[in-house]
Structure 1
Amino acid sequence: MRQTIRFCTSRDGVRIAFATAGHGPPIVRVNNWFTHLEIDWDSPVWRHWLEAFVQQRTLIRHDPRGSGLSDRNVTDFSLDAWVADLEAVVDAAGLRRFPLFGLCQGGSVAIAYAARHPDRVSRLILYSAYPHGAYVDGAAEKTARQAQTLAQMIEIGWGRNAGAFREVFANLLMPDGGKEQLKWIGELQRRSASPETACRLWNAFHAFDIRAEAGKVSVPTLVFHVRGDAMVPFEAGRQVAGMIPNARFVPLESNNHILLPYEKAWSEFRKELDDFLKADEPVQTVATSELSGLTSREREILDSVARGLSNGEIAKLLRISEKTVRNHLTTIFAKLGLASRAQAIVTAREAGLGRN
């Protein structure tokens, strides 16, 4: 799948990498740890998840601070920092109102963002979310000790091809996974973050607490949770659904924290997700008629931008200079009121360009 990777700057100056792929109205995925924009499409861990989102929509996702293609040298991993990163991404992408999906710790970020920006989120989808981490007031002492033990194992064993940690992590993540998934778990660990950063991320996630903000969410919300989830207990998802007004809770029959493509639960998840998104309110888009003010050459260039081509690639394709491409883009941005290339990509795809 062709994707376009761009960068934006969060409130504290951290550069966040985000990617756009697919066609149609947008959906934003709040990325969790253990991801990498460049290799997720090749991964048997995440590939089927991405394919599910891009079938009829434009997927916008980002690498979390400290990992993937985003800035690695980061000190602040707080919930507020993660929300600020999401704010920067959706603004850079030129999105106005959109459905928002959050998995695990990404669910905490999605809940906080939806509570703080009800005008921007049309629908909220949560998977394996939790109300608070193990290090906050109210958490059981045993849960905190377990989290601290795993933090020590992460610092020692993260990214290794063998050892106790890999087996423990694999059993928490997808106990029913095969050899291919097991191999990629190590690869994703190595590519996504250093052991030190992975440990800091883990500890940060257990300081997240969305109990005060969950009750402020006012958008339609769908909450998924796997009954046999060993990473985030089923009860945590049930609690989250109970905190969000009018949220609908969907239990899934599986033991895997990350569902596998051949599971019945995966098919059920896909159907529930598709039905929920079909009921989404009409997304604000740029109508095709608004592109009528563009010349045929400008439409050609905008179509190429929507397909993820660089200025140099567009110049070569159309046999014009890069300067001419830049001049045309300046005119296109002015005519359509665009502020960034990422916004141009989303706008063009919403209008039906970039499909070939």
Structure 2
Amino acid sequence: MSGEVFRFGRYALDAELRRLSCDGQQLAVDSGALELLCHLVECRDRVVPEAELLDRMGHGSEVSRIVFADWLRTARLAIGDDDRRQRLIRTVPPHGYRFVAPSAAIPGNPSAAPTGGPVTEADHEVIRFCRSADGTRIAYALTGEGPPLVKTANWLTHLDLDRTNPMWAHWFDGLTRGRQLVRYDERGCGLSEWTLRSFTLDDLGAVADAAGLDRFPLLGVSQGAAVAVAYAARHPERVSRLVLTSAYARGQLVRADSDSERDAAEVDLNIARAGWRSQDSSFLRYFASQFLADATPAEWDAFAAYQRQTTSPANGLRFLEEFSRIDVSGIAHRVTCPTLIVHARDDARVPVAQALELATLIPDSRLILLESRNHLFTADDSAWPTFLTHLDTFLGEG
């Protein structure tokens, strides 16, 4: 990065800090669109080939043209441009794209705090990188201030996008109240290395070590709960308290006990596979509806678009296969720390029977069922503030 701040009209783009502001107010723009904008502005003296942008955006992995189009549209809208007028970012067929707005580059000040609204605990965030035992690069973030809460990775995350994504933003506001949230992108997605060797618990341990944590409470959401259970069972000296929400001990294929359940699990997996391979909205909406049962079709589409930004189709398919075969039922009894299990009664993705199984398997556990159909609690879900209350009370006991 050049360390310069590029100014054009009402906008200022800090290429080093990846910050875009308008009239001194920092704008929330997803990282893919922001990186695309930075590259175009830095290369403003030439037409940038689409192939170059795709390679830059993918960091060595393939980026679909649908995702690229989303990023380009988002970048344009962020600076008051659009596909028709192209006053700032011009399409130059068949060669590529060029940033054409008059701009001035001045030395940047990396230490300057962004201007804007009031600073909250969640604004205190640092993204860092560490190496897992096999050398895989893992991205992790420290958000907020206070005693730590470590959150395992789950389907699918992107450290730089999650805080402004409607599906996750309220989680950070709630989880960082009076504490520091430590989270990371699983290998294969987000800002972590996208080359998948094998899935391992070493990533969680590497993040905890890098963050300087000896003993800490651990939060697992969805398939991240199985990771949390396995880590707590194998490293009881490190986990002080365990919180599991929307959790399961056995993946969909593993817990199928009859031919009809196995057929249903295969159909569900095949629909998800078809969606990831074809990017067909009907398949993707079905998959999204299992996570956000009470959302609108537009919100399902937004969820699908977000997932495409977090990982490659090949990695997405591998995640699906791996998650369907997760099984920690044989080691859950080895969890010795106090455990809170919170689950929606009508979870459309993971049946409540899975929460009951975990509560039976983990000795020192308590189960709380909330009135909701959402696998992931949304900001306007009545279960969300109730979940936070139980979480705060439980962690406060420790």
Task: Tell me which of the two structures has the higher relative contact order, counting C-alpha pairs closer than 8 angstroms and 6 or more residues apart.
Answer: 1
Alignment-mate amino acid for residue 138 of structure 2: I
2:230 is paired with a residue whose SS is helix
1:84 aligns to what? 202
1:311 aligns to what? none
Separation of aligned partners in 2, 1:266 and 1:161: 31
Q: Which has the higher strand share?
A: 2
Separation of aligned partners in 1, 2:280 and 2:254: 32
2:132 aligns to what? 10
State the shift of 1:7 in Å.
1.2
Separation of aligned partners in 2, 1:48 and 1:143: 35
Alignment-mate amino acid for residue 37 of structure 1: L
TM-score, L = length of structure 2: 0.66
Separation of aligned partners in 2, 1:145 and 1:85: 33
2:374 to 241, 256, 259: 256
Separation of aligned partners in 1, 2:249 and 2:133: 25
Alignment-mate amino acid for residue 249 of structure 2: P
Separation of aligned partners in 1, 2:243 and 2:135: 29
1:164 is paired with a residue whose SS is helix
Separation of aligned partners in 2, 1:148 and 1:196: 18
> Does the 8 Å CA contact 2:289/2:300 hold for their aligned counterparts?
no
Distance 1:258 1:137, change over 3 A: closer
For residues 31-83 of structure 1, give each alpha carbon's deviation from its aligned partner in whole angstroms, at most 9, with x where no partner exists: 10121111001111011112111111100001111111111111313xxx1x1
1:274 aligns to what? 392
Matched ranges for 1:17-56 at <5 A: 17-56=139-178
* Paired residue total: 276
State the shift of 1:181 in Å.
3.1
Alignment-mate amino acid for residue 102 of structure 1: G
> Does the 8 Å CA contact 1:102/1:125 hold for their aligned counterparts?
yes
2:185 aligns to what? 63
Max Rg structure:
2
1:75 to 197, 209, 212: 197
Alignment-mate amino acid for residue 71 of structure 1: E
1:52 is paired with a residue whose SS is helix
State the shift of 1:180 in Å.
5.9
TM-score, L = length of structure 1: 0.74
State the shift of 1:262 in Å.
1.8
1:314 aligns to what? none
> Does the 8 Å CA contact 2:281/2:301 hold for their aligned counterparts?
no
1:35 is paired with a residue whose SS is coil
Separation of aligned partners in 1, 2:203 and 2:257: 27
Matched ranges for 1:67-146 at <5 A: 67-77=189-199, 81=200, 83-136=201-254, 139-146=257-264
1:196 aligns to what? 314
1:186 aligns to what? 304
2:138 is paired with a residue whose SS is strand
> Does the 8 Å CA contact 1:27/1:99 hold for their aligned counterparts?
yes
Distance 1:144 1:5, change over 3 A: farther
1:171 to 281, 289, 301: 289
Distance 1:180 1:2, change over 3 A: farther
Alignment-mate amino acid for residue 278 of structure 1: G
1:215 maps onto 2:337 in alignment: no
Structure 1: gaps spanning 5 or more residues? 281-356
1:237 to 340, 343, 355: 355
Distance 1:159 1:32, change over 3 A: farther
1:158 is paired with a residue whose SS is helix
Distance 1:93 1:160, change over 3 A: farther
For residues 283-303 of structure 1, give each alpha carbon's deviation from its aligned partner in whole angstroms, at most 9, with x where no partner exists: xxxxxxxxxxxxxxxxxxxxx
Separation of aligned partners in 2, 1:86 and 1:15: 12
2:159 is paired with a residue whose SS is coil
> Does the 8 Å CA contact 1:159/1:187 hold for their aligned counterparts?
no
1:212 is paired with a residue whose SS is coil
> Does the 8 Å CA contact 1:161/1:183 hold for their aligned counterparts?
no
Structure 2: gaps spanning 5 or more residues? 1-122
1:228 aligns to what? 346
Distance 1:278 1:175, change over 3 A: same
State the shift of 1:84 in Å.
1.2
CA RMSD of aligned residues (A): 1.8
2:24 aligns to what? none
2:97 aligns to what? none
> Does the 8 Å CA contact 2:271/2:287 hold for their aligned counterparts?
no
Identity across the alignment (%): 41
Distance 1:160 1:53, change over 3 A: farther
Alignment-mate amino acid for residue 166 of structure 2: P
State the shift of 1:150 in Å.
3.1
Separation of aligned partners in 1, 2:257 and 2:151: 28
Separation of aligned partners in 2, 1:198 and 1:139: 26
> Does the 8 Å CA contact 2:285/2:304 hold for their aligned counterparts?
no
Deviates more, 1:8-17 or 1:135-144: 135-144
Alignment-mate amino acid for residue 384 of structure 2: W
1:157 to 275, 292, 299: 275
Q: Which has the higher helix share?
A: 1
